[in-house]
Amino acid sequence: MATVVLVGTLDTKGAEYAWLSARLRESGCDVVLVDAGVMPSPVGSPTGDIDAAAVARRAGHGLEALRAAGDRGAAVTAMAEGVERIVGDLHREGQLHAVLAVAGSGGSFIAARAMQALPIGVPKVLVSTMASGDVSPYVGSSDITMMYSVVDVAGINSVSSQILGNAAAAAAGMAIHHEQSLKRSEPHGRPLIGASMFGVTTPAVDAARRRLDELGYEVLVFHATGAGGRALEKLASGGFLAGVLDLTTTELADELVGGVLSAGPDRLTAAGRAGLPQVVAPGALDMVNFGAADTVPERFADRRLLVHNPTVTLMRTTPDEMAELGASMGHKLASAHGPTAVLWPLGGVSAVDAPGGPFHDPEADAAGLTSLRTALRGSAVDLREIGAHLNDPSFAVAAADHLHQLITTQSRSHPDV
C-alpha cells in the first residue's frame, strides 16, 4: 500500500491533520503522521505515529529542554532537522511514497527542509499560507508542489475543506503512482546528461545536445539563472546523471561580483563530489546579470553595460574579475573525484564576446585562462584550449565527444559506477 507521510505541528493543527489522515485513508493510502510541534498538544488532538519527542531526539535535543529554553527560532530549527532525518529514514526504508504538509510560516519551514532533502521524483505537496509570495526559500531547487491555503490553516471550514481535500487527493494520487512505479522497477531509459545553457550559449548547447543524442544520451538542459544552476547541482548529487556538460558557468560571475543570477558558492562542486564525468567551459563568464538598466548598482555606472532586453542588463567582467573566476573554477574542479576536463574556447565565451561584439575582450578572457591554468597545475583535470568560439559547432561537438569518452572510460574501469 502506498504511504503518505504527514508532517505537521500537532500542537496547533491537530484537527486539520486528523481530517487529512482520514481523507488519505479513504483514498487507499496508509499514513505515517510525524509530529513536529514543540508545545503540548491540546486534549483530543491526534497522536503522531512519530511523536515530537522522537523528532527532537533525532536532532540531538530533548523536547522538554527546547520548551524550557523559550527560543522559538531555535526550537523550529531543531525540529526541522529532526524531521529531515526521520523523513529521510522513512524514504530509505521504503515507507514513504509522498509527503504532505499544511502549515503557516514555521511549519512550512520545517516541512520544506525535509522535502528539499528528498530525491527529485518523490512526491512532495505543501499547502502554505506563504505560497502567494516568494516561495523560493521553500521550494529551493526541489520539485515541491505548493498550494496557497487562501484562508489560514485554522480549522476545517467550507473553504479549507476544499483546498485541503484537493491537496490530500493530489498527494494520494501521487503516492499511489509512485509506489506502483517502484514496484514495476521499469528499466531506465537512455543515460542522462545535465547541461547548462544561457541565451548567449544556446548554439553551443544545441549542437552538443544533438551530438549527445546521436551517441545515445538524453540531455536535460538547465537555464543558468541561479535556480537552474542549483537544480543541476542537486541532480548531479542525487545519482540521476551519467555526466555533466557544464558549458555555461556564468552564475559564478554573478556570485563573485554581485549579480542577480548567482547559484550560490557551491556551484560547480556537486559533480566533482559525486565522481561524475564532467566537461566544463567558461560559457558567459564575460557577463554579470542585473535587472532593468535602472537597477544596476551605482558603483557600476562606469562599467561596460549592455541592455539585453528591457528587464535584463549585462555587465562585462574585467580582467581582474576574470582572473578570480578562472582561479575559482580551477580550485573547485581540482578537487573533483571523477574524470574532469575543461575546454576553453580561444575565440570567445559568449555570443557577445566575439570579434566586433560589445563584450569582446581578449585580455580579460586571457586573464581567466591564465589563472585557471595556474589553479589546475598538478591536478588530474584535463585542460584543453580550443581555437574556436564557444558557439562554433566544432567546439560543441568536441565537448560532447570528450564527455562521452570520459563516461565510457569510467564505465569500463568501474563497471559498478
Ordered by where they begin, the domains of the chain are 3-183 (3.40.50.12020), 192-413 (3.40.50.12030)
Predicted local distance difference test score (pLDDT) of residue 359: 98
Give the global pTM.
Answer: 0.76
Closest CA to 345 of 394, 309, 302: 394
pLDDT of the chain along its 417 residues, tens only?
899 999 999 999 999 999 999 999 999 999 999 999 999 988 888 889 999 999 999 999 999 999 999 999 999 999 999 999 999 999 999 999 999 999 999 999 999 999 999 988 999 999 999 998 889 899 988 899 999 999 988 889 999 999 999 999 999 999 999 999 888 765 557 999 999 999 999 999 999 999 999 999 999 999 999 999 999 998 998 788 999 999 999 999 999 999 999 999 999 999 999 999 999 999 999 999 999 999 999 999 999 999 999 999 999 999 999 999 999 999 999 999 999 999 999 999 999 999 999 999 999 999 999 999 999 999 999 999 999 999 999 999 999 999 999 999 998 776 655
